[in-house]
Amino acid sequence: MDGRHKRYFLRTKEAKLILSEASEKLEVDFTHIFNSKAAMELVETDFAEIFIINSEPLLVRIGEKIFPTLVFTERFDLMPKVVVDMGAVPHVCNGANIMAPGIVRFEGAFRRGDYVSVVDEKHGKTIAIGEAIYDVDAAEKTAEGVVIKNIHFVGDKIWNSIKKSKNL
């Protein structure tokens, strides 16, 4: 982990509150994904809280925002997708926001503020989680500028902390 961290199990009541908060913000009923007795750990870092559910780091909270990690593949099937061309991939994986010229297409509906999965066009791999700046209709008409704010990407602090947490 980068800097100091603290890792511990949450009580069932605390875990239910986190899953409820995540369900509301992500518009997913996590009771269908996790059983009622999901074992939840919290890893507190100097930049985020990472929630490990049934031994997998699936959610992260930074400030008021809670969103899925790149490990949470079940969530990606439900999320709207923004497909980017291969020229955009290295920039996105260095933390750049998703710009209109690099977007190939949109899959699924989203509103401003929703989280979307950013995937590369060649392999269809999720390389980032982003926050929509526009509704999908406005995003499709946008020819320049930022369309998706990059909030979590392959190689960022969260990604590296998750990789290291598996060895703790």
Amino acid 36: pLDDT: 63
Per-10-residue mean pLDDT of the chain, 168 residues long, equals 76 90 86 76 94 92 94 81 98 98 97 96 96 97 97 95 74
Amino acid 1: pLDDT: 40
Amino acid 77: pLDDT: 79
> Under a CB-based contact definition with an 8 Å cutoff, are residues 97 and 41 in contact?
no
In the chain, where are the structural domains located?
Answer: 6-72, 75-153
Return left, alpha or beta for 161; rule: phi > 0 is left, psi -120 to 50 is alpha, else beta.
alpha
pLDDT tens sequence across 26-66: 888 887 777 666 799 999 999 999 999 988 999 999 999 99
CATH number of the domain at 75-153, out of 3.40.50.300, 2.40.160.40, 2.30.130.10, 3.40.50.2000? 2.30.130.10
The residue assigned the tokens 């020819």 is 143
Superfamily of domain 6-72: Pre-PUA domain; domain 1 (3.10.450.120)
Query: pTM for this structure?
Result: 0.90
Specify the long-range contacts of residues 105-112, CB closer than 8 Å, at least 24 apart.
Answer: 106/80, 106/81, 106/82, 106/136, 106/139, 106/140, 107/80, 107/81, 107/82, 107/83, 108/79, 108/80, 108/81, 108/136, 109/80, 109/136, 110/80, 110/135, 110/136, 111/135, 111/136, 112/138
